[in-house]
Structure 1
Amino acid sequence: MSELTARLRAWGQRNMPTRDQMARSRWIPKSVLRTELWRFTRRSVPRAVALGLLVGILLPFAQIIFAAILSLPVRANVPIAALTTFVTNPFTTPLIWAVSYQLGNMLLHFDDKAGGAIDRLFALTDVWDAIQWLTSEGRSLALGLVIISVVSAAVGYVGSGWVWRWWVGHKRRTNLRTVQRRSRA
């Protein structure tokens, strides 16, 4: 383990509240403390990946909060749901929005006659201008975002389930080899 990783892990362990501290907090509901929301299981992890991708792509703000809140009714792993919302960040959001806009235009049979509508959105600095853009040309973006987020969530669910099965099988094979070596010796 590198020194940076060790330092980050130590910082996280120092600054993360314990379960007892959260249980004593009057701001945190008791349903958040259910252990199945914090354990890594073959069911909770794919749910969390799907939820995090759905919320991360679909919502432009407060993604971690919404992912954590929505993890409760679907019994998804809260840390994984929060972590997978980081799929959208300042580097990936412009690409996701541009692809979403083009997909929405294609499905709604709109032609971007003026060209560069998504460029105009990113050039807007005034909130009111951005709202006007969303009401006039934002339907394509909204439809594209919904489709991309749902497809990403489905792919994330299936993919994380496969990775989970592979990892468990890998661990079992490794343990079996270790036991066989010890029994021969």
Structure 2
Amino acid sequence: MDKKFLKWVHRNSPTRHELAESRWLRPVRKYILASEYWRFTRRSVPRAIWAGTFIGIFLMIPGLQMIGATMMSIPLRANIPVAAAITWISNPFTTPFFLVAALEVGGMLGFPTDFAAFMDLFGEEASVQRWIDWLYSAAAPSMIVGLFIIAFISAWVAYFLSLVGWRLWVARKWRQRPASDNIV
């Protein structure tokens, strides 16, 4: 990544202690201050990637995704910042693809799919109330089941890819060490 971008993120991100002082986050303060949720380890990062991918695809509500991934990170003992960041896998560019794929997957499993109504709502930028009405229609189970299946499979694929990526990263670091450092 670009070093300027990383510096900007570091400079503008709140610290753990600033987050712990927030009155909204006071109920989970002990988890925010616990260092195990902020470390980058070979176990915490893949778990965070699993949680962030699953919640990011399944929940599809922008503000709640990061909260959901954070809450899921606590019992999984996953890295909270990584889980929250990975939820951005679903963003304004990818969300339509996930939703259409969810309708297709749900339709393949025998759930009724009202794809035309979905496209009409999507095309006319319908109000939240119209989307809620559509969710109570017969097509909602198709989308929910489809999103769950896509999220579950994607989360496990991302988890295993992160395990492999972590292993390759550590191996590269070992190879880059001078020969005198490898002697124990």
Q: Which has the larger radius of gyration?
A: 1
2:173 to 147, 155, 171: 171
Per-residue deviation, 1:91 = 0.5
Cα pair 1:46 1:157 within 8 Å, conserved:
yes
- Superposition deviation, residue 25 in structure 1: 5.3
> Which residue is equivalent to 2:12?
15
Query: What corresponds to 1:126 in structure 2?
Result: 127
Give 1:56's aligned residue.
56
CA distances 1:134-174 after superposition (whole Å, capped 9, x unpaired) = 22211111110000000011111111001001111111122
RMSD: 2.5
- The aligned counterpart of 2:34 is 34
Deviation string for 1:55-85 (max 9, x for gaps)? 0001121111111122111110011101110
* Equivalent residue, structure 1, for 2:110: 108
Deviations 1:84-121 (A, max 9, x none): 10000011000110011011001116476xx6343123
Structure 2 letter corresponding to 1:11:
W
In structure 1, C-alpha distance between the alignment counterparts of 2:30 and 2:149, rounded to whole Å: 35
* CA distance, structure 2, for counterparts of residue 83 and residue 158 of structure 1: 18
CA distance in 2: counterparts of 1:91 and 1:22, whole angstroms: 29
C-alpha distance in structure 2 between counterparts of 1:10 and 1:63, whole Å: 25
Whether the 8 Å CA contact 1:64–1:82 is kept in 2: the answer is yes
Structure 2 contact 19–32 (Cα < 8 Å) conserved: no
Residue of structure 1 in register with 2:153 after alignment: 151
| 1:168–1:144 Cα change, 3 Å | same
Unpaired runs of 5+ residues, structure 1, are none
The one-letter code sitting in structure 2 at the alignment partner of 1:56 is G
| Alpha carbons of structure 1 residues 35 and 158: separation in structure 2 relative to 1, 3 Å | same
CA contact (8 A) 1:51 1:71 kept: yes
Q: What are the residue-to-residue correspondences of 1:41-120 with 2, within 5 Å?
A: 41-61=41-61, 62-108=64-110, 110=112, 116-120=116-120
Structure 1 counterpart of 2:157, one-letter code: V
Identity of aligned residues (%): 43
Rate the CA distance shift 1:110–1:24 in 2: closer, same or farther, 3 A: closer
Which stretches in structure 2 are left out of the alignment for 5+ residues? none
Contact preservation (8 Å) 1:101, 1:118: no
Q: How far apart, in 2, do the equivalents of 1:73 and 1:109 lie?
A: 33
Shift of 1:37: 0.6
Indicate conservation of the 8 Å contact 2:69/2:87, yes or no: yes
Could you state the TM-score of these two structures normalised by the residue count of structure 1? 0.83
Which letter maps to 1:129? Answer: R
